[in-house]
A and B are shown apart, each in its own frame.
Chain A
Amino acid sequence: MTGLLQSACILLLQGPEQIPIRPPAASSIAEGVDRLHFFLTGITLFFTALIFAIIFYFMVKYRRRSEDERPPEIEGSLPLEITWTLIPTLLAAVVFIWSSSLYFRNSRPPAASTEIVGVGKQWMWHLQHPEGVREINELHVPVDVPVKLTMTSEDVIHDFYIPAFRVKKDVLPGRYSSLWFQATKTGTYHLFCAQYCGADHAEMIGWVYVMTPTDYAAWLSGGARNESMAQAGEKLFNRLGCVTCHVADGTGRGPSLVGLYGKPEKLRTGEMRVVDETLIRQAIVFPNSVVLPNFPPIMPTFQGQINEEQVLQLIAYVKSLGQEERQTKAK
C-alpha cells in the first residue's frame, strides 16, 4: 500500500510528462534500431487491439441469452487456418529480414576505427586508449568517429551496455569480445553492466562522454603524461624477460614476433590459426596449447603474474611489431 501512496504522490507532484518515452539516440545505428522497434510496437499494439476488439465484439454479440441455446456447429475452416498461418509468417519474414540486415550491416566495425580496450572486473570498468590514457567507469570518445572496443573480463561475465548507442556485448573471461559504435551527438550517456555479476552489479555503471574532436584531443593530452599502450607493452616485454627468447631477428629460442600479427600460422597440432588477440592471449596464459612446430614447448605460463590489462598492453606491443612493414605492403 505504501507503493500506491508513493506512486500517487509522485504522479501528482511531477505529472505524467515526467515519464520519458524514448531513450536518447546518440549513435549511427540508434535511429535504425528505433525504427524497427516502433514498427514492432505498432504490430504488437495492432494485433493486441484487434484480438481484444474481436473478443469484446463476440462477447457482446454472442452472449448467452438462454441456457437452452444451441450454437451452430462449426468445425473449422482450412482457408482461414491457411490465412492466419500465412499472415504471421509473412510478417515474421519481413521483420526477420529487416532486423537481420540491420544487424549484419552493423556487425563489423569500419576499418579505420579508433581502438580502445576495456577490462571488466567486479565491479568496475577499466578502459584504456591507444595513446595510453586510462579511465575507470568513464569513457571519453570523439563524436562522428567509429570506435572499436575490445574487451575481456578479469573474473565473471559482465556486459558492456550503452543504451543511448543501442549497443551491448557480453564481456567474458578468457576471451575477447568487441563492439563498435559511432557516436553522433555530443553529450553524456549511461554506461551499464547488463549481465548480473555479483553483489555490486548495480554499481558497475559509469558515463560515456561524447566530445567534439578538438575537445577530445585536448582531453587526451590534458591528463598526466602517459606512455602509449604499445610502449607500456614493450616495457613489460622486457621486464618479464619475453625478449630473451623472442628475439627480433629470429635467433632466439622462441619465434620472432615481428610481423606475426594477422598472419595464419600452422601449429604443432596441425591446426591453422590466425595470430590475433585471442591467440596471443592464449600463448601467454596457456603457452603449451599453441606451440609452433619448429620450437620446443619451453615457454612458462604467465597466468597469475600479469593482469588482463597488461596482457592487452603486450598484445598492443606485438601488434606494433612490424607494423610499418605491414603498412608499406598494403600500399
Chain B
Amino acid sequence: MSTPGPNDHDVPAESRVNYLNASYGIRSWLLTTDHKRIALLYLASITLMFFVGGAFAVLMRIHLIEPQGALVEPETYNKLFTMHGVVMIFFFLIPSIPATLGNFLVPMMIGARDLAFPKLNLLSWYIFIVGAIFTLYAAVTGGIDTGWTFYTPYSSTYAHTQVVPVALGVFITGFSSILTGLNFVVTIHKMRAPGLTWFRLPLFIWAIYATSIIFILGTPVLAITIFLLGLERLLHVGIFDPAIGGDPLLFQHMFWFYSHPAVYIMILPGMGVMSELITCFSKKRIFGYSFVGFSSMAIAVISFLVWGHHMFVTGQSIYAGLIFSVLSFLVAIPSAVKVFNWTATLYKGSISYQAPMLYALGFIGLFTMGGLTGLFLASLATDVHLNGTYFIVAHFHYIMVGGAVMAYLGGIHFWWPKITGRLYPDGWARFAALIIFVGFNLTFFPQFMMGYLGMPRRYAVYPAEFQVLNVMSSAGASILGIGYLIPLVYFIWSMRYGPVAGPNPWGAKGLEWETPSPPPTENFEEIPVVTEEAYDYANPHPGVARG
C-alpha cells in the first residue's frame, strides 16, 4: 500500500502535523471550517443524543415489564416514547451517517481539500445544536406527549405539553439538513479529483448524493408542515382541526410526504457504508456497481411517492390505497437488488472478519428481515390488522436500528483508524457486535409477535396476556444497552492508548486511505489523479497518479 511519508508506520501520529493537532483550544474547534473537525463536532453531539434517546428507551422498557406499568404514570410514559422518537429520529438517525462520516469522507473520497462551502458546513452544525437545545429544553421543562409524529388535532389543540419548543427544535434542525445536503451535492458535482468520473465514485458517495437530494427536496415540506402546526396551535388558524375549519388528515399527508423519504435518509447512507465494508473485507470489486448505484437513485425517487401507505386505515379512498400499495412494493425492489449484490460480492472473495465486517454482515441479515416485514405493511389486507401495533414498531426498528445503526457503527469502526490514527481492540469490538446482534433480536423479534397478536403501540398499560413477550423484549433491551456501551468505552480508550493505525490498516481501496491517519488539514499534499475504478482490489497499487 502507499506510504505517503517515509516510514509513516513508525511515526507516532502525534508527531506529524494533522487536522487534530494543527491547532489547540476550544476556539479552534468551535470556529473550525475543517470538514473533518466539523464531523467530530457532529460525532460528539449525536453520540450524546443517542445515549439521551437510549435512556428514554431504557425507562420505557423497564416500565413495560408489568402490564399495569412498573415505573411511571401514563402521562410520563407518553412523554418517554415521544422524546425517544424525536431525539432518535431528528437528532440521531437523520444526521448520523451523513453529518459524521459523510462530512469526514465526502471530500476525502473524491480527492478534495474540503466541502464546497466550509463556513456553511459549520453553520449547519450550529443550527443543529440550536435545534437540539430547544428540544432538550422542552424535555427538561415538562416534555412533549404527542408522539414523534405530532398528529393533529391532538398536537395542535389538545396536548398540554411543550409542543411548540420541540416543533421549533425540529423545524430549526431541518435547515441543518438542507444546508448539509446542498453542500454535498455541490461538492460532489464540482470538486471531484481529476479522473474521478461519476462511475468511478465509491458507492458511499452515490448513497450520500441520493440522500442529499431527499434532504433538499423533502425537508422544506417538513418545515412548512411544522410551521402550519405552530400557526394553528398558537394563533388558532384552522388548518388541521375540523372544529375550526381544518382538515384532520391534511397534516398526515404533509408529514409523511417528508417522513417516508426520511426513512431513506436514514437507511441510504448505511447502504453506502455497506458497499465500502463488504468490498474491503472480501477484497473484491462490488458486484454490479451500476445496479447498486442506480438503485440508490431509484429509492430516492420512488420514496417520495409512497407516503400514503402510512394512511391505509385513515379512510383514504380504496383506489388511492391500491396505488400507494403498488408503489410501496416497488420501492422494496431496489433494496432487494442491493442485498443480492452485496451477497454476490462475497462470492470467491477473500473474506476476513474484523469488527466492521461483522457489523456489515449483521446489517444484511437484519435489514433483510426489516425489509421483508415491510411487505406485510405494504399489502393492504394485512396492514389493516398490523397498522398501529407493535408489528410496526418491530419493523421499523429492524430497518432503523438493525439497519441504519448497525451500518453507522460498522462505518465508525471502519474509519476510526483514519479519523483518530489509532486502532481499537478488535476482539472487544467483535464481542460488542455479537452482543448487539443478540440483544437487538431479543428486543425486537418478540414485538413482531406482539403486534400480530394485536397489541397496539404507545400503550402505557396493556392486557396481561402480552406480558411474557414484553418481558422478553425488555430483557433484550438491557443486553442491547450494554452492547452499545462497550464501544463507547474502547473508542475512548483507543484515542489515548490504541496502537498507531498507519494510513491504511485494512488494506482498503479509496482515496481516503491514500493519505496519512489522521489526515493533514488539507487532506492531500497534492490533489490525486484517479486512474482506476472503485474497489479495484485486483490491482494492489493505489489507483492514483502522483506528481
Q: Which A residues are closer than 8 A to B by beta carbons?
A: 1-4, 6-8, 10-11, 14, 18-23, 29, 32-33, 36-37, 40, 43-44, 47-48, 51-52, 54-55, 58-59, 62-65, 67, 69-77, 80-81, 84-85, 88-89, 92-93, 95-96, 98-100, 102-104, 106-107, 122, 155-157, 159, 161, 163-164, 166-170, 172-175, 177, 190, 192-203, 205, 286, 303
Chain B, residues 222-244, CB within 8 Å of chain A (1/0): the string is: 00000000000000000001110
Contacts of A10 in B (CB 8 A): 467-468, 471
Tell me if B458 and A44 are in contact (CB < 8 A).
no
Closest Cβ neighbor of B346 among chain A residues = A58
Which one of B159, B287, B456 lies within 8 Å of A194 (CB-CB)? B456
In the complex, what distance in Å separates the CA atom of A205 from the CA atom of B369?
A: 31
* B65 in contact with A3 (CB, 8 Å): yes
**Can you name 26 A-B pairs with beta carbons within 8 Å?**
A3-B62, A4-B478, A10-B471, A14-B468, A51-B343, A55-B361, A64-B352, A73-B538, A74-B287, A76-B287, A76-B289, A85-B337, A92-B330, A100-B325, A102-B381, A107-B318, A156-B154, A164-B454, A166-B385, A170-B315, A173-B241, A173-B243, A192-B454, A192-B456, A196-B151, A198-B154
> Which residues does chain A contribute within 8 Å of B333, judged by CB atoms?
85, 88-89, 92
Given A2-B62, A161-B388, A196-B151: A73 touches B242 (CB 8 Å cut-off): no
Min Cβ gap A76→B in Å is: 4
By CB atoms of chain A within 10 A, which of B249, B322, B336, B461 has the most?
B336
Name the one of B146, B325, B474 contacting A99, with C-beta atoms under 8 angstroms.
Answer: B325
Shortest distance from the beta carbon of B160 to any chain A beta carbon, whole Å: 9
A96 near B325 (CB under 8 angstroms)? yes
Q: Which residue of A lies closest to B242 (CB)?
A: A174
Indicate if the CB atoms of B154 and A163 lie closer than 8 Å: no
Residue of B nearest to A156 (CB): B154
A2 CB to closest chain B CB (Å) equals 7
Chain B residue at smallest Cβ distance from A18: B468
Count of CB-CB pairs between chains A and B under 8 Å? 300
Which of B329, B340, B465 is the one whose CB lies under 8 Å from A96? B329
**Restricting to B422-474, which residues have a CB under 8 Å from any CB of A?**
449, 452-454, 456-463, 465, 467-469, 471-472, 474
CB distance from A51 to the nearest CB of B (A): 5
Cross-chain contact of B385 among A93, A156, A163 (Cβ < 8 A): A163
Residues of B within 8 A of A80 (CB): 288, 340, 344
Do B375 and A95 touch (CB < 8 A)? yes
B34 contacts A by Cβ under 8 Å:
no
B499 CB to closest chain A CB, in angstroms?
18
Chain A residues lying within 8 Å of B151, measured Cβ to Cβ, are: 156-157, 195-196
- Cβ contacts under 8 Å, B326 to chain A: 96
| Distance A51 CA – B340 CA, assembled complex (angstroms) | 8
Closest residue of chain B to A19, judged by CB? B468
Q: Are A168 and B78 in contact (CB under 8 A)?
A: no
B376: A residues at CB distance < 8 A: 37, 40
Expressed in whole angstroms, the Cα–Cα distance for A194 and B337 within the complex equals 34
B145 within 8 A of A: yes
Flag B168-208 by CB within 8 Å of A: 1 or 0 each: 00000000000000000000000000000000000000000
Given contacts A37-B385, A51-B368, A172-B242, 15 further A-B contacts (CB under 8 A): A21-B449, A51-B339, A55-B365, A59-B346, A62-B349, A65-B350, A69-B350, A70-B283, A73-B538, A81-B288, A92-B332, A96-B379, A175-B248, A177-B315, A201-B459
Contact in complex: A161, B325 (CB < 8 Å): no
B221 interface contact, C-beta 8 A: no
B84 within 8 A of A: no
Q: Are A199 and B75 in contact (CB under 8 A)?
A: yes
A37 to B381, CA, bound (A): 9
Partner of B475, one of A7, A98, A122, A170: A7
Contact A84 B336 (CB under 8 A): yes
Is the CB–CB distance between B453 and A23 below 8 Å?
A: yes
Query: Given known contacts A62-B350, A172-B248, is B465 in contact with A20 (CB within 8 Å)?
Result: yes
Residue B314 CB within 8 A of the other chain: yes
Contact between chains at B452 and A37 (CB < 8 Å): yes
Q: Which residues of B contact A (CB under 8 A)?
A: 61-62, 65, 74-75, 78, 145-147, 151, 153-154, 157-159, 241-243, 245, 248-249, 282-285, 287-291, 313-315, 318, 321-322, 325-326, 329-330, 332-333, 336-337, 339-341, 343-344, 346-353, 361, 364-365, 368-369, 372-373, 375-376, 378-382, 384-385, 387-389, 449, 452-454, 456-463, 465, 467-469, 471-472, 474-475, 477-479, 507, 537-538, 540
What 7 pairs across the A-B complex have the smallest Cβ distances? A174-B242, A163-B454, A99-B379, A76-B288, A194-B388, A103-B380, A3-B474
Which chain B positions have C-beta within 8 A of A4? 475, 478-479
B349 CB → nearest A CB, Å: 5
A92's partner among B329, B382, B460 (CB-CB below 8 A) is B329
Are B385 and A63 touching (Cβ within 8 A)? no
* Least distance between B107 CB and chain A CB atoms (Å): 28
List chain B residues, Cβ under 8 A from A161: 388, 454, 456
Residue in chain A with minimal CB distance to B540:
A70
Which of B282, B384, B462 contacts A202 (CB under 8 A)? B462
Q: Which residues of B contact A169 (CB under 8 A)?
A: 313, 315
Cα–Cα distance between A54 and B350 once the two chains are bound (Å): 15
For A167, what are the chain B residues with a Cβ–Cβ distance below 8 Å?
384-385
| Min CB–CB distance A178 → chain B (angstroms) | 8
A62 to B351, CA, bound (A): 6
Contact B468 A11 (CB under 8 A): yes
- Which of B243, B325, B341, B454 counts the most A-chain CB atoms under 10 A from its CB? B454
**Shortest distance in angstroms between A89's beta carbon and chain B's nearest beta carbon?**
6
The CA-CA distance from A63 to B353 in the complex, in Å, is 8
A1 to B318 Cα, complex, angstroms: 47
Q: Which residues of B contact A177 (CB under 8 A)?
A: 314-315
Instruction: Say whether B284 contacts A163, CB under 8 Å.
Output: no
Given the complex, which residues of B lie within 8 Å of A75, measured CB to CB? 285, 287-289
Which residues of chain A come closer than 8 Å to B145, judged between CB atoms?
A: 198-199
Of A88, A98, A170, A197, the residue contacting B154 (CB under 8 A) is: A197
A92 to B202, CA, bound (A): 30
- Known contacts A192-B454, A196-B151, A202-B460; decide if A99 and B315 are in contact (CB<8 Å): no
Do the beta carbons of B380 and A100 come within 8 Å of each other?
yes
Given A36-B381, A104-B318, A194-B456, A62 contacting B282 (CB threshold 8 A): yes
Closest CB in chain A relative to B472 CB, distance in Å: 6
Are A64 and B350 CB-contacts (below 8 A) given A7-B474, A19-B449? yes
**A1: chain B residues within 8 A (beta carbon):** 478
Bound Cα distance from A269 to B196, whole angstroms:
62
